[in-house]
Structure 1
Amino acid sequence: MNGPSRTIGFIGLGHMGGPMAANLVKAGHRVLGFDLVPELLATATGNGVEAAGSATAAVTAADVVLTMLPAGRHVLGLYQDGGLLAAARPGTLFVDCSTIDVADARTAHDAAVAAGMRALDAPVSGGVPGAEAATLTFMAGGAPAEFAEAEPLLAAMGRKAVHCGGAGAGQAAKICNNMILGVSMIAVSEAFVLGERLGLSHQALFDVASTASGQCWALTVNCPVPGPVPTSPANRDYTPGFAAPLMAKDLGLAANAVREHGVPAQLGLAAAQLYADYAAGAGARQDFSGIVRTLRDAATAPPPAEPTSDPKDGTAA
C-alpha cells in the first residue's frame, strides 16, 4: 500500500470513477462510494466499494473526498447545494478529478476553503484503459501540502502525478494537454487518409511515421486505423477508450480559454469545431480516434485499388 490506510468518500462511479475507486480498494483503503445510477453503484460494490445511501452519507466519515463528475456545474452543485461541504468533517481534503473549467475549479476550491476544508483539483489523462490499469496521469492544482497528502492515493490510481501549481492549475494543464491530443489525432487521421489516396498501406505509413518525426501518442498508442496497433480502439470498431464527446467537451473548455485569453490557437479552435460536430453525430458513441472515418468520408476522391504485388519483392500478392 502507498501510505497509511484512509477512509475515502468517492462520488461518481462511472467508466472512470468506478475503476479508480476499485484500485483504491485494492491498495487497502476503505472506500465509501455513491452514484446516482444503481447499476454503477452495484458494479463498484462488487469491486469492494462500500455503498453509501447518498452523496452526503459517503463523506461524513471520510478523511478524503474524491469526485469524478461530468461537468463543473455538478461539482459546484454537490459541493454547495448538494451539501457535501456541510456534511464533511472540518479539514477534510476534497480532491476533484473531474475535467471542468478552470474558473469552476477555482470557485470549487474557494468554496471548500471557506467551509473549513482543503482542496485540490486533479484531473486525469489516460482514459478508461488507464483507469482500469491504474496508469493514469494526474495533473494537480492546489497547495503543496494538499498535493503531498493526496499523492499516495493518486499513486494507487495512476502512474504519475504532477503538481502543476495553485488552484485551477491542474485543469489548465489538462485542457492544454488535450488540445495537443485532439490536434495530433486529427493530423494523424488526415495523414492516413492522404496515404490511402496515395496508395500507401496503413502498415507502411505506420512503420515510417512511428520511428520518424511524425511519432506521437495518437499514432503509436491510439492509432486511428486498424492493424498497426492491435490494442487501439480502431480494432474494436472504435469502442471508446476515450469517447469522442469527452474530447469534444475538453476541447470546448480549451477553446473557451483560448478566446478568453486572446491566444491565436487556430488549430485548437479548428479541432474543437471538428470534434463538436463529430460527437454530435456519428461519433456520439465512438472513440475519439474514429474521427478518421469522418475525414475519410469527406475526401473527394476514392482510394486506389489495393496493390496486386508485394512492394518488397515485386511478386504477385
Structure 2
Amino acid sequence: MSVIAFIGLGAMGGPMAANLIRDGNTVRGFDLSKEARDAGAANGIEIHDTAAAAVRGSDVVITMLPNGAILDDLMLSKDGLLSSIKTGAVLIDSSSIDVATSKKLHAAAKSGGLHCLDAPVSGGIAGAKAGSLTFMVGGSSETLDLARPVLESMGHTIIHVGGPGSGQAAKTCNQMLFGTTLTAVSEMFVLATALGLDHETLWNIVTQSTGDCRAIRNFCPVPGVVLNSAADKEFSPGFAAPLMLKDLNLALTAADAVGQRLALTEAATNAYSTLVDEYGALDCSAVIKTMSAQLETVK
C-alpha cells in the first residue's frame, strides 16, 4: 500500500483521506484548521505541523484546496511545496480550480520529475464519506494507471477526460450546467407558487416529464417535497452557495479565455452573488431566496 500525503482535510478532504486509510494506506495529513486536523487524527491520519513535512517521502500527494490562488501559492511559489516532494511521486490535485492554474501545475510538476493529474470530483460530502465520488481526470493515461488504485479508494467512477487541465475543464462545464439548472428550477417554483400550483404535485409531474433533472430531485428548493432536503432544514448547506458561486465564476473565466459569452451563466452568477451577499453560506438551493423574497411559501 502507498504512503499518501493529503493536504486539505476539510469537509471533502477529511472523509476522502479516511477512505484511503480504510483501504490500508498510510496517510499523512495537513490542514490549517485545528478542527480539521483533530478530526483527521481521530480517523487515523498522521497529522503533521506543516504541509512540507506531510509530503516529504510520500509516494502520492493529494491536494483538496479552496481555490487556485491558494494552490498556486502553496505549490508554485518560490518556496513552494513541489521542491519537498520526492522525484517520481504522483501529484493529484482534486481541488476545483481554473484551467490555467491547473496547466501551470502540470508543467511545473513535470519539470520537477513528478507525475501529475488534475482530478476534481463530483458527489459532494455524501459521496466523499461513502467513497463513491466521480473523478474527472486530466493528465496522461500512464499517470492515471499509477494513480488508479488510490482514486478507487475514494470513488466509484473514474473518467479520463484528456490532457493536462481537461479534468478541471470538465468539472467547470458540469458545475455551470448544475448552477444554471438549479436557478431555473427555483424560478419554476416561484412561478408555480404565483400560479397557485401545489409544489409536491408539480415535483411529481416534472420528475416524470421533460423537465426532470438532478437539480430538482436532489436540491429541490422548496420545503415539504423531498425528504431531508436542505429546504426542509432552513437551507443548512450540503453544497454551499459560495462554492457554487466560485464554480460559476470559473466557468465565466474559462469562457472569457476562449471568447465565448455565457448569458445564462451570467444570470445565475448574479443570483448567487446576491444570495451570498445577503445570506452567506446557505445551501446552493437557497438561490430561490434571491427571486422570491415576497413569497412566504418559498422563503
Q: Distance in 2 between matches of 1:163 and 1:249?
A: 24
**Structure 1 gap segments, 5+ residues each:** 304-317
**Corresponding position of 2:28:** 32
**Corresponding position of 1:185:** 182
TM-score by length of 2: 0.95
**Corresponding position of 1:314:** none
- Match runs of 1:115-130 below 5 Å: 115-130=112-127
**Corresponding position of 1:292:** 288
Shift in Å, 1:83: 3.3
- Is 1:97 the equivalent of 2:97? no
Structure 1 stretch 99-108 or stretch 223-232: which is displaced more?
Answer: 223-232
Amino acid at match of 1:54: T
Q: Distance in 1 between matches of 2:232 and 2:239?
A: 14
- Is 1:152 the equivalent of 2:149? yes
- Is 1:243 the equivalent of 2:235? no
Contact 1:32 1:49 in 2 (8 A): yes
Shift in Å, 1:281: 2.0
**Corresponding position of 1:315:** none
Aligned equivalent of 2:216, options 208, 214, 219: 219
TM-score by length of 1: 0.90
- Match runs of 1:60-99 below 5 Å: 60-81=56-77, 82-99=79-96
Runs (4+) of structure 1 exceeding 6 A deviation are: none
Q: CA RMSD for the aligned pairs?
A: 1.4
**Structure 2 gap segments, 5+ residues each:** none
Contact 2:189 2:199 in 1 (8 A): yes
**Corresponding position of 1:310:** none
* Partner secondary structure for residue 106 of structure 1: helix
Percent identity between matched residues is 45
**Corresponding position of 1:209:** 206
Shift in Å, 1:77: 1.5
Contact 2:271 2:290 in 1 (8 A): no
Cα deviation per residue 1:132-158 (whole Å; 9 max; x = unaligned)? 222211111000011122222222112
Contact 2:30 2:47 in 1 (8 A): yes
Q: Distance in 1 between matches of 2:50 and 2:90?
A: 19
- Is 1:10 the equivalent of 2:6? yes
Structure 1 pair 160–291 and aligned structure 2 pair: CA distance change class (3 A): same
Amino acid at match of 1:45: A
- Match runs of 1:35-46 below 5 Å: 35-46=31-42
**Corresponding position of 2:138:** 141
Contact 1:79 1:112 in 2 (8 A): no
* Partner secondary structure for residue 143 of structure 2: helix
